[in-house]
Structure formats: C-alpha cells, structure tokens
A and B are shown apart, each in its own frame.
Chain A
Amino acid sequence: MITSIFLIFYFSSTANILVCNDTQRVSFVFVVTSPDDPTQLIPREQVEQAVKLSKHRINNVFLLSDMTLEFVGIPPTLAAPIVYDTPPWLIVFGVVIGAVAVGIMALLMSTVSKTRRAKDKAAGFAGEDAGIVKENGTTLSSLGGVYNQAFSNDDRFTQL
C-alpha cells in the first residue's frame, strides 16, 4: 500500500489523484484511490501514516520544507535521532586523558632520572674533591709528582 503511493508520486501519474476545492494559495484536498480498483479509496489513517513516514521525501520532491508544505492534521515527523555506538565525547575524553597520562609519566620519569643523575654526580664529586686539590695553593702535580691512576676513584665508570 505504501509503495503504491510512492509510485504515484515518483511516476507523476495523476490518474488516481482527484483534486477539488483549490484556493489562491496552493492548497487542495486530495484523496488517494487504490491502483487496482479506482473506485476504492484508501482509508485516511493509512494515507496519514504514509505521509508521516515519508514527509521528508515528499518535501524534497516538491523542493519545499516542513514550513512551506503542510498536510493539515499531520504534524511533521521527527528525524530519527543519530545513535552512536560510542558517544563521540567519550572518544575525545579518552584522547585527552591519554595525553595527560603520558605527560604525567614523562615528567615523573624525568624527575626520577634527574635525581638519579644528581646522586651519581654527588658521589662523583666526593671522589673528585679528594683527588684534585683546588686552585689556590700548590697542587701535587705542580710539585712535580705524577698522578697515580691506581688511587683514583673509578667506581663511577663501572656503574650504569
């Protein structure tokens, strides 16, 4: 039944549509007859249902809109709401939280490695201070001695 009404509109056959009571504004009353039997009218409820289902396509055919084409007594149908599998906001949230987590990890790692390097340096300096006596005053090397590697603190090189 519904497909037959579509066929009426798409193939522009006016054989089954009878028009009367037309006015200045393009407005008219219409009835739809069954394509098999021209004397039999299709009941109003079925026509209403069909119009409700396809109002959007009817609008497009006439290049009109819900504001400019009105079927009296048939309120325009509402477009089906778009249903997403995952709501898009959850995806964006995931991206942002992921980026933040990566940032936190990176900063914490850099702090940990900084403290580790500082600890190593502190151990290294303690050794150096003992080995290399400072600028003011005489140093062992200026007295003509030779720096003996055996007594230097090489431990730091073997550590990772």
Chain B
Amino acid sequence: SLHILTPSTQKVHLSLHSSLQSTPSEIQLQILTANLQRAEEIMKLKLPNPGLDDRILSHDELERLEVEEAGDRPKWDNKTQYMLTCVGFCVGLGNVWRFPYLCQSHGGGAFMIPFLILLVFEGIPLLHLEFAIGQRLRKGSVGVWRTINPYMLGVGIASMCVSFLVSLYYNTIIAWVLWYFFNSFQDPLPWSQCPVNANRTGLISECEKSSPVDYFWYRKTLNTSAAIDETGNLQWWMVLCLISAWAVLFVCCIRGIETTGKAVYVTSTLPYLVLTIFLIRGLTLKGSVDGIKFLFTPDINELANPTTWLDAGAQVFYSFSLAFGGLISFSSYNSVHNNCEQDAVIISIINAFTSIYAATVIYTIIGFRATERFDDCIDGNILSLLNTFDMPEGYINQSNYQEVLQSLNTTNSDIIGNLALKTCDLNNFLSEGVEGTGLAFIVFTEAITKMPLSPLWSVLFFIMLFCLGLSSMFGNIEGVLVPLQDLKVFPKSWPKEAISGVTCLVCCLVGLIFVQGSGNYWLALFDSFAGSIPLLIIAFSEMIGVVYVYGIDRFNEDLIFMIGHKPNIFWQATWRYISPLIMLAIFVFYFSTVVTKEIFYSAWDPESENFPTLEKKPYPSWIYVIIFFLAGIPSLSVPCTAVFRAIRDRCCKKQPSASVQELDSVSYKVHMQDEELKSQKSQKSDQKIYR
C-alpha cells in the first residue's frame, strides 16, 4: 500500500505548488490532471509483495554476473540456436494440421482477420512477457514464480504438470509418425491397397467397406478397439515405435540445451525445406489451385460468428506454446541484455507465416486428392452408363456428362434409377473437413499414394512431421526437467544425463497407455482436457502475477535495464488490460461449452451401423474422474499451493520465511561466493608468508 500512496502524493504536491503561479482555469486543469494521475496510480494496482528484493538479483548483480560469467547456468552458443529452438517449440503439428482446417471451415481468407488481430493483441504480448520475465529472473518456470512470490509457486507446478501430461501423449503422436515413416520404405506403400482375405477371393471386408488408408490407420497401426473401456492389448509394433521416439528425444535432450541446441539446426529448418518441396510438387499436380482457392475464398459472414473468434484466439494461444514454462526456461539462458522485445515480434511473425504457408501447401495436396476422387467418381458413373447402354468408349466424358445424364433420364429414367449413380461434388470432397491425425494419416497418405514416386513423398512428409513434433517436444521436456531440478526432486549428486534418462523412462512407461488397443481414445481425451483449460488458467495467472504481483513498474524498469528503452503504450495496454481480458473471455467460453454439453468420443467400430463413419459414443462414468484429474490437478494446484503454503507458514511459525529465502536467493549465493573468494585469497596470502 505504501507504493500506492507515495508516488501519487508527490505528484499532487508538485501540481499544487505550481498552481500558485497560474490562473484559475489552469489551476482547474492541474487539479484535474492530478486527480487523473492519482486514479491511474490506484488503477495501477499492486498487490503487497514483501521480500521481493531479497529474492531477486538487483540490476548491478545481474550486470556483474553477465560480465564475470560467474553463474553456473547453461548458455546458448549463439543467438541462432535460441531463435531456432523457440521457433521449433512454437511451430509444431498444430500449424500443419489444425490451422488449415480452422482456416477453411471459418471462411477461408476471412479467418485471417481474427487470427491476425488476436495474434497481435494476445500472442505477442504474452510471448514478450514470458521472454522478459525469464531473461530477468534467470530461472525456469517454478523458480520464476517462487521468486515473484512464494504463494505463486502453484503456477510453476501447474506448468510442470501440464508439460508432463502433454509430453506423454505428444510423443505418442511422434511414435505414430515414426511408424508411418518406417513403413514408407517400400513400394507399393502398404496403405495404397487393401490386403486380400484368407482364400484370396476378395478383399478384407473391413477394408473393403472403408478404404485402404482407413484400414491401415485403424487396424494395422492402432489396432483400435471399439470402445474406450475395451483396453485391448499392448500393440508390440507401437511399443517399439514409442521406445524409438523416447530414445531419439533422450539423445537430443541428454545434456539439456547443450545437445538440443545442436539438434534444432536440423529439426527446426528441415520442415521449411520439405514444405517448399511439397509446394513445388503440389502446384504441378492437377487440382491444386482449386484447393488453394477453396482455402482462401473469404466468407465475410463468418466474422459475425463468435465461434470464429473463439477458435482463432484458442489457435493463437495454443500455437505459441505459452504457459508450458519452456519459453521461460529458454529465455533464462540468454544474456541479460538480449533484445527480447524484438525476439517476441520476430517469432510471432515466423509462427503466423508458417501457419499460412503450411495451410497453402496442405491445401494444394488436398485439392489434388479431391480432384482425383471427383474424377474417379465421375469416371465410375460414366463407365456404368456406358456399360448399361452399350455406348462406345468416349461417348460420354466429364464435360458432357450432365447433359447426357439428363437426356438419358428423360428417356430411360427407371434404368437410371436402378443404376445407383453416386453424386459427385468437388466441393464436398474438398470440405471433407479433416484436421488432426485424420489429415496426416488418412487424407494426406491417400493423396501421396496417387502421386508418382509415392515412397519418396511419404518419407519426406513423415520426416517433416517428425521434426515438427520433436522440436516441440524439446520445449515440453524442458518444461518438465527444469522444474524437477528446481523442486529438488532428484538428489543433487545425480548428473543431468541421469535426470533426463529417468524422466524419459518414466514418461515412456506411462505412455504405454496410449499404445494399447484403446490408446487412440485416451490420447484424444488427454488432448481435449489436459492441454486446454489448465493452460488458459496458467496464462491468466502469469499475466496477473507479472503485472500486479511483481509490479508493472518494476517490470518496466527491468525492461529499460535489459533492452534500453521503456516498452511503449502498446505493451502497457496489452499487458495490463487487453490480453488478460481476452484470456478470460476464451476461458469462460471454453469452460461453459465443455461443462454444459455432454462429451462424446468418436470410435471406429466395424460392428456399428454407420460404418465406416466414426460412431459417437458417450464416455463411461468413470472417465469423468480421469477428466477431473487431467484438467483439475494442474488448474487447482495454482490456488491450492498458495493455501497450503499459507497454512504451513501460519502453523510452523519458528523462523519465518526470511532465513529460508536467504538461502534460496541468488544474491545470497553471490554474496557467499564473494566471501569464499575473499577467504581463499586470505588463505593464499598466509601461505605466501610461510614460504
């Protein structure tokens, strides 16, 4: 409360002093400005935060640390590694398989408007905030929030929990990608044709009713059971792929950023190369331009739909991998005068550009596939007409199909009726709206089988997905490993390699849930609940924590120290009011839609009536307990840790936090280092005398 009173009283005092020499209207103006300033000061709410100065390094200490390189914290070899790691973390599978779907289903080109607006007002400020706070406090997420206020430790723990849960299922997706990658080294590709049944009289019925790509995905890859409560067995081939995914991740993260910094040179750049190759290849295919036109044709009416804005906001938020704690860790390894403002803007632009670029590439291929399907459909109809009416070859082609059909319908409508001709609509094929795993493993793989040299395109595509996923996993694992070290879960004597090894092993073992028969459904469950609501809560708490608990004034001063100028009005407005409001709005909408409607999952059930359409089944009742754990534990750890700490401080009163904080604070450690150096020097001088 002292902070609120002191500056404002000073300002009021000054304005009163100057008013003695001015006219009445000028006095009024000055009193008005004084009142406005005082109102602003009160609005610049700052929650009490005792002991903050003891917990953080002052600017001078930071400067000294920078010059002497006295800290034992790892550092980036160069700026490129840092930028590539952050870009890799932000650019992930969502840019390839979520954004194109959203773009196309929410009015194409018109979707860019809410997307870019929310990028500027939500994504960039949050990104800048995380970079700046990590660079200033030089700790991982748990350390940062514990430093800002010990009661905010829950935010760091929530970040760690979310990173852990997301790592579990995200690496399973990478295992799926690896399975397809391993299977791409053969011609013909195994998903290009249905396998024959036992006595070679026909195709396997499950495959015949659906399609070879569906069959390969649901049966040969997942071997999925019909419902989430039928666990099925562990699929041994997927266990092998899961082990390889975690092994590759382990080798890249074995020494923290020392090794990931080298790996990102490949994993962050290769996707762009492959996307470009696919763009060139895609544009030469028939129907690609139809795909692009379909993607970008704007439908302005969609802007009036609130779901469009909600989805755009959610996409921006999740696409930036905010609130995982990984970005805070990465920027804490930077030099203290790194220009984090510029980095935030550059990375946001790269992320947006990648989303749009990937959407274009994906839709050239989807356009090609839709055109192929349309051609097959029409050709099938033409063939049956030709066969029925004994017409010569080439009598009907695509251009005169409609008129010939009309004329035949007038003369022989009963025969036409019996023929069961399929309706072929190109737009229908284009909008077979697929996102997520359906896009990558069903639609795109089918398109690849129709291209010449399919194994090559398949290998390229899955290597790209692998790199995209792996570079995001680096950030997730960082968000798990660094808090574990800060919370002192592992003994100090353990080397970094052992810690990463144990973490990867535990995650791999827990991840075996996702490679059993019902694993696909569990993954969808985790994706919807662990990776959605808790992140919104964490991000909101982060903004409140930095702006109101740490103090926006102190934060501004830190930024002046770090990058040399005060963040301008745009940053002030977004950090204080606009971005938290947007986060709150998204959270409220999300929460209300999830809580109100009954949740279903889509199951692949060969016995169902609508097979091959996925069947919507309700979750069994015990799933709600699991959902509560997934979404509840990270979200509730934010308030619960504060309450727990408060109770602990209240009942174990002895020497309150002060002494504990002294040992924890880095300034104390630097002080101790100084003391040690001094004592060593004095020891040496003693020895000199004796010699």
Residues in chain A within 8 A of chain B (CB atoms):
23-25, 27, 67, 77-78, 80-81, 84, 88-93, 96-97, 100-101, 103-104, 107-108, 111, 129-130, 133-134, 137, 140
Q: In the bound complex, how far is the Cα of B691 from the Cα of A130, in angstroms?
A: 10
Selected from B182, B243, B248, B684, the residue in CB contact (under 8 A) with A92 is B182
Given A25-B393, A104-B250, A108-B497, decide whether A81 and B182 contact each other with a Cβ distance below 8 A.
Answer: no
Q: In the bound complex, how far is the Cα of B202 from the Cα of A25, in angstroms?
A: 28
- The segment from B251-259, B345-353, B431-439 that touches chain A is B251-259
Q: List 5 A-B contacts (CB under 8 A).
A: A25-B386, A89-B179, A96-B182, A97-B247, A111-B495
B186 to A, closest residue via Cβ: A88
Number of interface residues of B (CB under 8 A): 36
- Contacting residues of chain B (158-209) with chain A, CB-CB under 8 angstroms: 178-179, 181-183, 185-186, 195-196, 200, 202-203
Given A88-B183, A89-B182, A92-B182, decide whether A78 and B393 contact each other with a Cβ distance below 8 A.
Answer: no
Q: In the bound complex, how far is the Cα of B392 from the Cα of A77, in angstroms?
A: 26
A130 smallest CB distance to B (angstroms): 8
B445 smallest CB distance to A (angstroms): 15
Which B residues are in CB contact (< 8 Å) with A81?
Answer: 195-196
Let me know if B251 and A104 touch, CB within 8 A: yes
B200 smallest CB distance to A (angstroms): 6
B240 at the interface (CB under 8 A from A): yes
A107 to B, closest residue via Cβ: B254
Let me know if B390 and A89 touch, CB within 8 A: no
Interface string of B217-250 (1 = CB under 8 A from A): 0000000000000000000010011011001101
Q: Total A-B pairs in contact (CB under 8 Å)?
A: 73
Which A residues are in CB contact (< 8 Å) with B513?
Answer: none
B688 at the interface (CB under 8 A from A): yes
Let me know if B244 and A97 touch, CB within 8 A: yes
Q: In the bound complex, how far is the Cα of B179 from the Cα of A90, in angstroms?
A: 10
Which B residues are in CB contact (< 8 Å) with A24?
Answer: 390, 392
Selected from A78, A92, A107, the residue in CB contact (under 8 A) with B185 is A92
Which B residues are in CB contact (< 8 Å) with A104?
Answer: 247, 250-251, 254
Given A78-B196, A104-B250, A133-B691, decide whether A89 and B202 contact each other with a Cβ distance below 8 A.
Answer: no
Interface string of B680-691 (1 = CB under 8 A from A): 000010011001
B270 smallest CB distance to A (angstroms): 16
Let me know if B200 and A111 touch, CB within 8 A: no
A139 to B, closest residue via Cβ: B688
Q: In the bound complex, how far is the Cα of B143 from the Cα of A30, in angstroms?
A: 86
Q: In the bound complex, how far is the Cα of B243 from the Cα of A78, in angstroms?
A: 37
Which A residues are in CB contact (< 8 Å) with B178?
Answer: 96
Selected from A89, A90, A134, the residue in CB contact (under 8 A) with B684 is A134
Selected from B195, B202, B244, the residue in CB contact (under 8 A) with A100 is B244
B252 to A, closest residue via Cβ: A103
Which A residues are in CB contact (< 8 Å) with B495?
Answer: 111
Which A residues are in CB contact (< 8 Å) with B451?
Answer: none
A25 smallest CB distance to B (angstroms): 6
B383 at the interface (CB under 8 A from A): yes
A69 smallest CB distance to B (angstroms): 12
Which A residues are in CB contact (< 8 Å) with B393?
Answer: 25
Selected from A93, A100, A103, A140, the residue in CB contact (under 8 A) with B182 is A93
Let me know if A67 and B390 touch, CB within 8 A: no
Which A residues are in CB contact (< 8 Å) with B196?
Answer: 78, 80-81
B179 to A, closest residue via Cβ: A89
Let me know if A107 and B202 touch, CB within 8 A: no
Selected from A78, A90, A107, A129, the residue in CB contact (under 8 A) with B200 is A78
B638 smallest CB distance to A (angstroms): 37
Let me know if A25 and B497 touch, CB within 8 A: no
Which A residues are in CB contact (< 8 Å) with B244?
Answer: 93, 96-97, 100
Which B residues are in CB contact (< 8 Å) with A134?
Answer: 684
Selected from B203, B259, B386, B688, the residue in CB contact (under 8 A) with A78 is B203
Interface string of B570-612 (1 = CB under 8 A from A): 0000000000000000000000000000000000000000000
Let me know if A111 and B182 touch, CB within 8 A: no
Q: In the bound complex, how far is the Cα of B179 from the Cα of A133, in angstroms?
A: 63
Which A residues are in CB contact (< 8 Å) with B241?
Answer: 93
Q: A24-B392, A100-B244, A100-B251 are in contact. List 19 more A-B contacts (CB 8 A).
A: A24-B390, A25-B386, A25-B390, A25-B392, A25-B393, A89-B186, A92-B182, A92-B185, A96-B248, A97-B244, A104-B251, A107-B251, A107-B255, A107-B497, A108-B254, A108-B497, A130-B687, A133-B691, A134-B684
Which B residues are in CB contact (< 8 Å) with A89?
Answer: 179, 182-183, 185-186, 237
A25 to B, closest residue via Cβ: B390
Interface string of B249-276 (1 = CB under 8 A from A): 0110011000100000000000000000
Let me know if A80 and B691 touch, CB within 8 A: no
Let me know if B255 and A111 touch, CB within 8 A: yes
Which A residues are in CB contact (< 8 Å) with B240?
Answer: 93
B240 smallest CB distance to A (angstroms): 6
B249 smallest CB distance to A (angstroms): 10
Which B residues are in CB contact (< 8 Å) with A80?
Answer: 196, 200
Which A residues are in CB contact (< 8 Å) with B251?
Answer: 100, 103-104, 107
Which A residues are in CB contact (< 8 Å) with B182?
Answer: 88-90, 92-93, 96
Q: In the bound complex, how far is the Cα of B389 from the Cα of A23, in angstroms?
A: 12
Which B residues are in CB contact (< 8 Å) with A93?
Answer: 182, 240-241, 244
Which A residues are in CB contact (< 8 Å) with B392?
Answer: 24-25
A3 smallest CB distance to B (angstroms): 22
- Contacting residues of chain B (268-299) with chain A, CB-CB under 8 angstroms: none
B391 smallest CB distance to A (angstroms): 8
Query: Which residue, of B179, B182, B195, B203, has the highest number of chain A Cβ atoms within 10 A?
Result: B182
B259 to A, closest residue via Cβ: A107
A22 smallest CB distance to B (angstroms): 12
B195 to A, closest residue via Cβ: A81
Interface string of B484-518 (1 = CB under 8 A from A): 00000000000101000000000000000000000
Interface string of B57-92 (1 = CB under 8 A from A): 000000000000000000000000000000000000
Let me know if A133 and B390 touch, CB within 8 A: no
Which B residues are in CB contact (< 8 Å) with A84?
Answer: 186
Which B residues are in CB contact (< 8 Å) with A92?
Answer: 181-182, 185
Please name the 3 residue pairs, one residue from A and one from B, whose CB atoms are nearest each other, closest first.
A89-B182, A92-B182, A103-B251
Q: In the bound complex, how far is the Cα of B497 from the Cα of A92, in angstroms?
A: 27
Q: In the bound complex, how far is the Cα of B237 from the Cα of A80, in angstroms?
A: 24
